[in-house]
Amino acid sequence: MADIDQVEDEDSEEESRHPRQRRSREESHDDNESENDAVDAAVSAEDQLAKKLVRYALACEFSRTPIRRDGIKERVLGDQGRAFRKVFEMAQLQLRTVWGMELQELAVREKFTMAEKRQGKFGGDFEASGVFVLSTTLPATYRTPAIIAPSKAPSIETEASYIGFYTMIITIILASGGELSEQKLRRHLNRLNAEANVASEKTEDVLKRMQVQGYVVRKVQKNAATQAQDGSEDITWLVGPRGLDEVGIGGAAGLVRAVYGEQADADLEKKITATFGIPSAADGEGDVDMSQAPEAGPSY
């Protein structure tokens, strides 16, 4: 009888252990599911924020509104500010794979004239600004007017006129050594028959818009020599960070080539090299190869 009782006790203990083991496995499985659900929820939330950032960037770029880091945190991330880097990387991936664009950070707005740079007031290193623009990632062969046409808002003609005007002004500034006095700007505007109006807009309004959007910078300095007499100021125009990114030296050189058209030759390339300080593309025999010349105008 004792042996029978012992066997029954062992069976009872074995049966009591099985439910505990099952409960333990079930609890472990539930914990794993909870953890997986939490991870999935976090990924889903970040993905939604990334899509929101893509929409925000596209909306800003359409109106040429600066895409600021603070604006992203305020309008997109909200209380998820710590996820900026992760969300930004996910948005970049979506922009590149779906839209053929990427967010490009601009340099800090140029504040120094050539004279100030020669005096050592500017180090010349790139300084992050926390301001972004959308730039195309399409190969150069696809960056043609037939593919990347001017926006239809407010109209193709108005947009094309604006692009042509700011590209021309940026080219003139770059061809003048990177800065242009107020007097010289006015002379150039007079030659372009744009001293009063650009298309249907007043020239002053267009220049102000170019400043706000970062295409040019208008630097005002007090003239120490004449300040006491007439209070005059020196005004210098510089290329803004957006102008350097969208047009830059490559776009300016492309505009010059487009103006010369079929008359463009090796001598023109030498002049472009000297004017803009860029190397000319030469083949093995020393002749200039213009087949890879940048297109005129903005590079976006």
Is the Cβ–Cβ distance between 233 and 92 less than 8 Å? no
Residue 101 β-bridge partners: 136
Residue for token pair 């590209």: 167
Start-to-end CA distance of the chain, whole Å, equals: 94
Note the pLDDT of residue 241.
Answer: 93
Written as tens digits, the pLDDT of the chain (300 aa) is: 555 555 455 555 555 555 666 566 655 555 555 555 555 555 689 999 999 999 999 999 988 999 999 999 999 999 988 999 999 999 999 999 999 999 999 988 665 565 555 555 555 555 678 999 999 998 888 887 777 777 777 788 889 999 999 999 999 999 999 999 999 999 999 999 998 899 889 999 999 999 999 999 999 987 766 655 666 789 999 999 999 999 999 999 999 999 998 888 889 999 999 999 876 554 444 444 444 444 555 555
Place of tokens 């992050």: 128
Distance, in Å, from the CA atom of 46 to the CA atom of 58, rounded to the nearest integer, reads: 18
Nearest partner of 92 among 49, 144, 151, judged by Cα: 49
pLDDT for residue 40: 54
Name which CATH class applies to 42-137. mainly alpha
Helix (H) or strand (E) holding 138: none
Domain boundaries, the chain: 42-137, 154-300
Residue 297 exposed, middle or buried by CB count within 10 Å (0-12, 13-18, 19+): buried
For the beta sheet containing 67-68, the strands, ordered from the edge strand earlier in sequence to the opposite edge, are 67-68, 128-136, 101-107
C-alpha to C-alpha distance for 251 and 300, rounded to whole angstroms: 10
Euclidean distance between CA atoms 268 and 276, whole angstroms: 12
